[in-house]
Each structure stands twice: as C-alpha cells, then as structure tokens.
Structure 1
Amino acid sequence: MKYTRFIKSSFWIALLACTSNVFTACEDDITISSENNSFGNIEGNFGYVKSAAGAKALTAIAINGDKHGTGHLYFELNKATNKDITVTFKVDESALNTYNQVNGTNYPMYPTDKLSLENEGITTIPAGKRKSSSVELDIQPGGTIGTTYAVAVSATASDGIETSSNNESYIYLVTPQATLPDTEKGRVKTICYIEVNNENILNAGEYTMENSKKPFFDIVNVFAANIRLNEEGKPYVHCNPQVTFVLENADKLIRPLQQKGIKVHLTILGDHTPAGMRSLGDEAAKDFAKELKSYVDIYGFDGISFDDEWSNYEQVGGHPGLVVPSQEQYSRLIYECRQIMPDKQIGVYWCKQENGEPSINYPLGDIEGKDVNDLLDYTVFGNYNLWNTLNHINIVKQCPYALDLSKISLLNPNPAYLSRIKDEGYGYFATYNLEAGNNYIDKFNQIGQALYSENIVWTKQEYGRTDFIPSPSTAIKDYNYYLGTWEIQTVQSFTWTGRNWNQRGPGMKFTIRIEENIKDKSYYVYGWAPYSELLEKYPLTAEYIAENISIRIPIPQMLHNPDTEEPLMWKMHWATPGSTVNSWKIAESNGEFKMFTNNDGSITLKPFPFQPNIGYTCIPFCSNDDGKTWLYTHTIFQQAHPTGLNYNLIKK
C-alpha cells in the first residue's frame, strides 16, 4: 500500500490520538502502532515526534511549587537516510488547538513564556540512523494549581524530509501542584522496597507517626525496572507490565505519596543480560544516565536506587559499549547520574554473593576527582536480619541492617541492631516487600520506638496491586473478616472402597460460604462437603468469639426442628463409619471446631477435644420420631467425607 506524500498535519495529530492508547512497553524505542513500522513499501521519508522514557501521549508532568519540570523529546524517521538530518523542535500552540478540535478536549496551553527547548530545539539524526538524540523541554513553574495544562511540541526536518508528512506533534500534560511538605522526623530515614509485580506502593503511605503525624516511611522504592541492551548495543531501561502500570498511573500512585512528603525512587536491577552497573563503558554510562534522567523527569521520581544483581557479566565480550566489569565502572555510572541529576537522590542496594566470595556489587573508587562517598545519598545492605557495613561510605549514608516483611519471612526486628543504628550514627533503616494482607503494626511499633521513640499509626486500609481506592485490610481480623468464601483443605477423608470405609483416604478440597447471622455474634456456614445441598437449606451456625477474634462451630448442633414444610428433625453429629456403606455410629461426647491462626494469614479449624475425635467426621442425621432415633439419610453414600485433625481454610 502506498502512502500519499503530502498529508495535512491535523491528520497526524488525529492519528496520534487514535494510536496512543496501544502503548504497552517501557522502552525508548516503543512501537506506537504495528502498522506504523511496516515501512517496506512506504513512499518517501517522514517521521514522528516522540517522548523518551516510553511516555504515551498526554503523560502528565507535575510542577511542584517552585520546581521546574522537564520533558524529553526525540524524532524518529520511518527509514534511515545516507546523510545527517537536522531536526528543529518548536512549542506549537496551533497543534494543541488542532488536537482539542479533533478530540473534543479543551486543554489550555501552558504559559509559553515558561517553556524553552534545549539548544533552541535543534538536534541531529546521524547518517544511517533513524533516531535523533533527545531534546529537553524545560517547564518553569507557573499556571494555577488544580488546572491541567498541555504543551504541544512539533518538529520539522531538513534535506528532503517532507515537512507536510512529518509535522506531527507530541503533547504533554502539565499539572502545577503545591510545594511538597517537609516531613523530616529525625536523623534516621526509613526506606521501603515494594515488589510492584504483586503489591501497590500506596500501601506505604498508610503508616504515620503517632505524635508528629509524619509518614513512617521516608523513601519508597519501586522495585524494579531493569537494565538491558537494545539492538544497537546501547543500555536502556526496560519495564515489565507491572512497572509500566506504575509509570502510566504516576498521578494516582507516585504523586499521592509525594504529597504526603514521601520520596519515591525507581530501582534499577540487572536482567540476565551483559548490561549491568559494573559493565557500562564511559560513554554507555553517560548514555544510560541520560536515559535514567528522562524517567526521573517525566514520571517525577525523586531519585534512583541501583541493585547490581542478575547481570550476566561473563558475556560482556563482543558487545560495543561494554567493558570488563569493575566496581570503578559502577562509580562511573553514579558519577554520570550525579552530573546531570545533581538535585536527585541516588542509592545503592548491595548484598553478599551466593558463592561466598566477598561482596563486589557496590561502587568503589574516585571518578574525575569525585569520591563515590560524595556522589551517593545512601547504601542498603540487603542480606536481611544481618549486619554489614562499607568502610568507604560515611555511616550517616549507610543502612547496615534491613528487615524482610514478606509473608514467608518470620523475622522480627532485631532490637540490638536497631539500637546500633540510632546510637552509632547510621542514617538509614530499610524494609523489603511490604505486602497487603499483613498486619505489621507490632513490628513497626518496635522500629518506631527504637529509632524515633514513637509508635506507628496504621489506617487499617490497603490497596490491591491495581487499586487507586483503599479497602479495609484483610489483615484486620474482626467479625467482618470471616465473612465471605473460604476454601477448605482437609488432611484426610473417609472414603468408601466398595467393601468398607478407608479411614486413611486422601484429603479433600471444597468451598464454604460464611454469611452473617447475628452481627458480631454468629454466622451461617454453607457448603460443607459432601452435604452442601442439605446445608444450603439448613446451614451450620458458627459463633464469633470477640475475646480472641476467632470462630467456633459447636458440635452437635440442631440444624432444623420439624415444621409443616419439613417434618423431619435434622442435627449435625460427630460420627464414625461402620462396616457397611450407610452405617454410622453417633458419638456421645460434645465438641467443637476450634480456630487457630497461621502465619500466612490462613486459619485452621480443629475438632476438639482432640483424642476422642481422631476418627470422627461431621455427619447430618435426621429423626422422624422427635429425636428418639437418629437416621443417616445422606443420599450419595459413596462420596468421601472429610475428617482428620486439621481443616485448613484459605480466603478466596
């Protein structure tokens, strides 16, 4: 299919509006549309204005108080030429007017006297290349807080590139905001790394100091984007869909934390490629620092945290721009970041090597007369619940001890280490993997008292990974916690073999539903297998024990007294099977299902008293003579019946 060489710019703006929503990647060379890159049979040369850092159209840049904002734009051709191409960007209010007209929007233009382009907007696409270097758009503070503005930037190109077909615009939104609050609460700063593959960074903002009301966490690290190499061998930032979700929703995820006074950093992690913090040559380090700056500027991060793990350094040979890995090259990268981001925070996460060799995954040495200690803001030792320090980094910049908060971790804060952090002058304490569904208040109170002589207050609200509005935390176990659907896994079952009951049958899995009976006192329990049909009509009753926030199911219990609709009397008993398919023996003793809470948030119901009930299961019996005689009349006689000491429940 041939493309007409002369196309009005308004068409390209409309096309941009139609295609911007297909952005899914986080790389510098994102694909706007698969059709736009099928260039083999396209006549003529044309190009696009794009944003660095993979920012889709209408990405919002926040202007906090008197701070400047920065956009990063580049120009990409549909095909390379054999000569250098000069590209000139300009702020283009007419392009914004066209966009508003085509899309039915009404974005006001940001004050043009507050906008300027680096090098007067002029850059070059080298011969044989398709992409220009990026040009910074400086956005000075101005405008009205609460108003969403827009900035459109268009470009023209030299040497036969048709201006009528390449004069497309890119549009940023600009949101002026109030100056961020100062929440300094002491010398020690608390860092929280959050695995955004599973968790929401907003959860870190739900903890405050009891007296000062300042945030408990000073820094939240988005863990993690990756360093990779593109097809030209240059390092770039790769973001998986979960990190991309954070970036695309920076106004709903990053900004709310910052408005509470919490700094938000982006963690950069190796990704099983030769690219890493220690393998970038001098020019590659400079290029990657500029790449990182575009992410920090556009998405409004307060800093970068490096984690030098998972890079395949043994494969650096043959990759232009990479060098033999060294800690000095790590320092070079830190230096280049500091040169172009002097007002941003830079941190390093390091840990012991799994092979037992000395740790080398931290920067070391002087670069251009600058000591790495002077270039860094903080270091974090990441072997959890252990203590380690770096001799060449000032202790006020070090976190020598960190705590893993994962559900699978049973670690509690080490009071001796916390005291050392405070008493010996260390500047940071870190936690890793804050997870929804956990109640951390006891641990955080220990930390708060040790470091700040103050308790922590939790809102008891939490966010799911993609939530923007909180819900009551599932970690808070009260009457409402038990309402809902639970999956039961039993240890064993009674199974009819065709000749007798096998008391060592395999475990069973089934779902029960717990609904309100009397608020804050009792529940109805539906779905207990294999009697769900009967118990759907006449459910079990469970009691809520407020003293220890638990539940119990008393056994035996009456399910139904005779009435005109159902003349049979039904009762749930403890029972054991006899020698035939439908023979059961009713137990004499009373008991209950008693609840225990497990570390992973699940609960276990156990039949009590233990010893008499080892062989028991719960069986519904009916009577047609007012309880003088009890008959088992379950209709599917050969189904397995759950039994055993443990009934494990997981909330669905």
Structure 2
Amino acid sequence: MKYFNDMNLKYWIAAFVLSGSLFASCSDDIVVGKVDESRYETGDGSVMGYISDSFGKRMFSNVDFRSTGDISFYLRTTAKLGAAATVAVSYDETVLKDYNAENGTAYEAFPQSEVTLENDGTINLPVGIAQSPGMKISFVSDGSLSSDKDYVIPLRMKVTSGDFKLAEQDQTRLIFVKDLTGIPDCTKYVDGQPGVKVFSCMEVNDANPLGNLSFTLKSNGKPLFDALILFSANINYDPETGRVYVFNNENVQAILDHRDHYLKPLQDRGIKIILGIMGNHDRSGVANLSDETAKDFAKEVKAMCDAYHLDGIFVDDEYSSYEYSNITPGFVYPGKDPAARLCYEVKKAQPDRWIVVYAYSTTSSLPSVDGVQSGEFVDYALEDYGVASDLTSSFPGMPKSNMGQYSQEFYQGRTATEANLRKMRDNGYLSHMIFSLDPNRANFESVQLPAMQRVASAFYDDELVFDGVKYPKDWN
C-alpha cells in the first residue's frame, strides 16, 4: 500500500493505558462454519462436545441489531452418540461479572427481560448425528440502551444428558450486542440476504473521510461503503522507555481530534470506523512482538479505540525494519506466530470490535493461538490488489463471506472488472476493499467513478449515485 509518513509529530496515548463486531444476526439456514476438531482429542477416548455459532465462532459472538435480533448456537460432538443428548443454556450474569473481573473491563449486561431462549434454552442433539439443529436466542430493544455502547448477553451451558464432556471453553458464552435502533443500516441486501461489505481504506494524508458519504445506491439511498479504514496509524518503538506505542501523524490525529466532524457523520449512517495499524520504519511491527509486549500493546490499542469511539483495527504488516539478529528484549524473530498472537490479544482485549487483517506478507495467513484458530479472532481478511484466493486454509474458521477478494487501488488505477466482482459475489465471497478513494484526484472521473459504478452493479444489481460533493482536506 502507498503511505506518506511524517515523523515530525508524535502522538502517544500511553497515558490512557497507565490511567486505566460479521455482525449481522445469524439464521438457521446459514451454513455453519467449520471448527478444527483436532483440538478436542482426549487421552481417555472420551467424546467431547463444543458450542459454536453459525460461523463456527467459539471465543465470542457479536450482533448489531435494530429493534430485534437473534443468533443461533449448535452443539457438536467429536463422534456420534449412541443416545440423544441435551445442553441447557441459561442467562447467567455471574459469567459477565467473572469476565469483567478477570479482564479489567466494565461491560454491562443486556436486560434479561428482553432475551428469549428457544426451546426453553435447550439444545437437542438427536441420536446418530454429530451436529445439533440450531437453538435460537432472540432479543429486542427496549429503547433504553445507548447505541454507542456494547452490551453483553451472558450465558452458561450445562450438559443435562448424553455421554460426552463439554469443553471448558464452551461452558460459558458472551454475546456482544449493539442496539442500533434509530441509526440507519448501511447493509445492502441482495435476494433477501446481506450483500458484499465494501471497505474504503482511505489514505487520509490528503483525502477527507467525509467523501465516503457522497456515494450511495439509487434503489435505497444506502452508502456504498460499509466501513472506513483510516490509513494509517503506526506501531513504533521508544528506545528510552523500551515500549511500543501507537503513533499518529498530524493528519490522522487531526481527524481523530475532530471525530465529531469527520467520523461521527459516517457512523450515524451505519458506517464502521476502523483504525489502520502498520509499521513505521523502526524495529517494531505487527509481526515481532513477544507475548507480553503484544498484550501490553493490545491494551494501548484498546485505549485508542475507546478514546475515539472506533469500531475496530486493521492490521497491516508493512514498513517495519525488523531485527533478525541481536533482537531487542520485548521482541522476537518476526513471523506468523507473533502476528497471530497480536491479533489474538487485541481481540481478547476488545471482543466487541472488528479485527481486520490485510492478507499480505506475514499476515497472508495466521496460525492458531492457544488452541484457538485464527478465523475465530480475525473477523475479516482482505486480500491484496487483484488477488482472489480462498482463505479457508489461511484463516481456519473464517466464513467465506468475510474473505475479501479483488481489492482495488484507486491511486494507481488498479481496478477490477465487473465480471470478476460478480463472480466473487456469486461464489459467496462477500467482502471487498477499495484503497485510496479521493474524489479530488485527477483520475476521479476516468478511473474511480467508473470503478465504483461497476461495484454497485456487480455487488447489488444497482446504480451508483454520486451527489457531486467533493470534500477537500480542510484541516491544517
């Protein structure tokens, strides 16, 4: 990716640290995500059971909803049972209290009175099969919840019949829900199903984020873009303190400092705001932090997201000057394992937010961490320009819908054909990235606008509407 860096200014939010979500509802007709069952082998030959949502997620579940929402859970076993089995699911606020105490968080419980458990909270696994039908958990808005906060439905799972053991991780579950009732939904639907999510990765040294609001669909007026990636904040190293920290150049910082002007209007239309994190020409990077350093940096990333009401981060392994010998304490030899560890720690620190990975270089694929496959702690993986590979083996557990193909680069005019975009959609790959949108650039009429028109046609069978407003860079 192209990036113009300026190291003259240094913004460090460690003070915050020292002082202190595919997320649409699931339905039973969705193909349940795959889980790596090799993690559940036991030495005594016992059959193990585990609970996953429709996308194979076992760490956390996330749902944005308006007025009503739901999500389904499934019981799976590592072998078919000789008798029917059941798991009882109950709302249990102590699960959330324990989580908050262990992780230093303060998430609030979603009102129990607004939650309904299908089948009285019973998951039934019939004899002779290894995956149960879905058990739906439904919830409604009571009008009292803030759209700026995530709430949690805390659940406890208990085996009530059947000759199997439920893995410890699956005995509790947190569902992070955000009540967006009253806020427009920018999800575009095709044949009644959510369509492609389009990420605008905007190089904000020159371009105004408000420009993303200028492009909508003719049929419904919804924004073309589902998420804005601010490109980019940096990971840097301070040799005096020995710490890695989040650095923002003056352009990123100006936008964050004036988020009510530049970012909130996008969020008010339903667009997610994602902060890019990438290297910045020193020894630190997203792929060489020790486990403890990754945990500390994850806390700082969370502090940044909390401070500026961001919806997630974008991890990009570029522009780091990694050490390959005489490695500084707090770092390790660069590779996929430490890159995965960082993503895992960031997701653990803020499970309600998206972790988006640029599937490029070291982060082109990520291994499991502590027995958790990478598709569970990475929400979206966006491939390099023009690449259209299946990432199932690169991010095990990630649904195809969250894999981004045929990314486009507007600065150099590297765009995608409508045929390829339509093929991507038809094959179920429902994420896509556009880099460096800028309506004030000379190639807007010849390259950028026609490319977005193809996106609207291929992804949504619709026409693009450009309102003619070209927001200039208006900060110092």
Class of the TM-score when normalised by the shorter of the 2 chains: 0.5 to 0.7
Q: Which residue number corresponds to residue 26 of structure 1?
A: 11
Q: d(CA) in 2 for partners of 1:292 and 1:435? A: 27
- 1:395-452 alpha-carbon deviations (Å, 9 max, x no partner): 222112111112xx24443123202211111021111100132234332121111111
Matched, 1:228 2:236: yes
- 1:186-228 alpha-carbon deviations (Å, 9 max, x no partner): 3310011101111111101111111111110001100000001
Contact 1:53 1:298 in 2 (8 A): no
Matched, 1:273 2:282: yes
Tell me the secondary structure at the aligned position of residue 380 of structure 1.
Answer: strand
Q: Which residue number corresponds to residue 187 of structure 2?
A: 184
Q: Find 2:316's aligned residue among 299, 303, 307.
A: 307
Matched, 1:362 2:343: no
Matched, 1:294 2:303: yes
Tell me the secondary structure at the aligned position of residue 361 of structure 1.
Answer: helix
Contact 1:330 1:363 in 2 (8 A): no
Structure 2 CA distance for partners of 1:275 and 1:206, relative to 1, 3 Å: same
Structure 2 CA distance for partners of 1:429 and 1:143, relative to 1, 3 Å: closer
Q: d(CA) in 1 for partners of 2:300 and 2:182? A: 26
Q: Which residue number corresponds to residue 397 of structure 1?
A: 402
| 1:246-257 equivalences in 2 (<5 Å) | 246-257=255-266
Q: d(CA) in 2 for partners of 1:144 and 1:346? A: 24
Structure 2 CA distance for partners of 1:361 and 1:376, relative to 1, 3 Å: closer
- 1:74-108 alpha-carbon deviations (Å, 9 max, x no partner): xxxxxxxxxxxxxxxxxxxxxxxxxxxxxxxxxxx
Q: CA RMSD in A?
A: 3.4
Q: d(CA) in 2 for partners of 1:339 and 1:193? A: 24
Question: How much does 1:375 deviate?
Answer: 1.1
Question: How much does 1:315 deviate?
Answer: 5.1
The structure richer in helix per residue is 2
Q: Which residue number corresponds to residue 26 of structure 2?
A: none
Q: Which residue number corresponds to residue 225 of structure 2?
A: 217
Contact 1:279 1:316 in 2 (8 A): no
| 1:107-146 equivalences in 2 (<5 Å) | none
What amino acid maps onto 1:456 in structure 2?
Answer: L
Q: d(CA) in 2 for partners of 1:397 and 1:193? A: 16
Structure 2 CA distance for partners of 1:294 and 1:53, relative to 1, 3 Å: farther
Matched, 1:381 2:379: no
What amino acid maps onto 1:360 in structure 2?
Answer: T
Tell me the secondary structure at the aligned position of residue 183 of structure 2.
Answer: coil
What amino acid maps onto 1:343 in structure 2?
Answer: D
Tell me the secondary structure at the aligned position of residue 323 of structure 2.
Answer: helix
Contact 1:53 1:295 in 2 (8 A): no
Matched, 1:321 2:330: yes
Structure 2 CA distance for partners of 1:259 and 1:53, relative to 1, 3 Å: farther
Q: Which residue number corresponds to residue 340 of structure 2?
A: 331
Greater RCO, CA 8 A, separation 6+: 2
| 1:228-627 equivalences in 2 (<5 Å) | 228-230=236-238, 231-314=240-323, 317-351=326-360, 359-382=361-384, 384-390=385-391, 391-393=393-395, 394-406=399-411, 409-437=412-440, 438-439=444-445, 440-466=448-474
Structure 2 CA distance for partners of 1:420 and 1:291, relative to 1, 3 Å: same
Tell me the secondary structure at the aligned position of residue 370 of structure 1.
Answer: coil
Q: Which residue number corresponds to residue 550 of structure 1?
A: none
List alignment gaps of at least 5 residues for structure 1: 1-23, 30-49, 55-63, 67-117, 120-133, 146-176, 352-358, 469-652
What amino acid maps onto 1:374 in structure 2?
Answer: E
TM-score calculated relative to the size of structure 1: 0.44
Question: How much does 1:135 deviate?
Answer: 8.2
What amino acid maps onto 1:436 in structure 2?
Answer: P
Structure 2 CA distance for partners of 1:412 and 1:190, relative to 1, 3 Å: same
Tell me the secondary structure at the aligned position of residue 202 of structure 2.
Answer: strand
Q: Find 2:216's aligned residue among 205, 208, 211.
A: 208
TM-score calculated relative to the size of structure 2: 0.60
| 1:73-88 equivalences in 2 (<5 Å) | none
Question: How much does 1:178 deviate?
Answer: 7.7
What amino acid maps onto 2:403 in structure 1?
Answer: Q
What amino acid maps onto 2:11 in structure 1?
Answer: C
Structure 2 CA distance for partners of 1:442 and 1:362, relative to 1, 3 Å: closer
Question: How much does 1:137 deviate?
Answer: 8.0
What amino acid maps onto 1:226 in structure 2?
Answer: N
Q: d(CA) in 2 for partners of 1:53 and 1:414? A: 49
Contact 1:26 1:53 in 2 (8 A): no
Q: d(CA) in 1 for partners of 2:10 and 2:333? A: 30
List alignment gaps of at least 5 residues for structure 2: 1-8, 20-63, 67-96, 111-142, 147-179, 189-193
Tell me the secondary structure at the aligned position of residue 449 of structure 1.
Answer: helix
Report percent identity of matched pairs: 30
- 1:231-272 alpha-carbon deviations (Å, 9 max, x no partner): 222211011101110110111111010001111100001111
Question: How much does 1:52 deviate?
Answer: 4.9
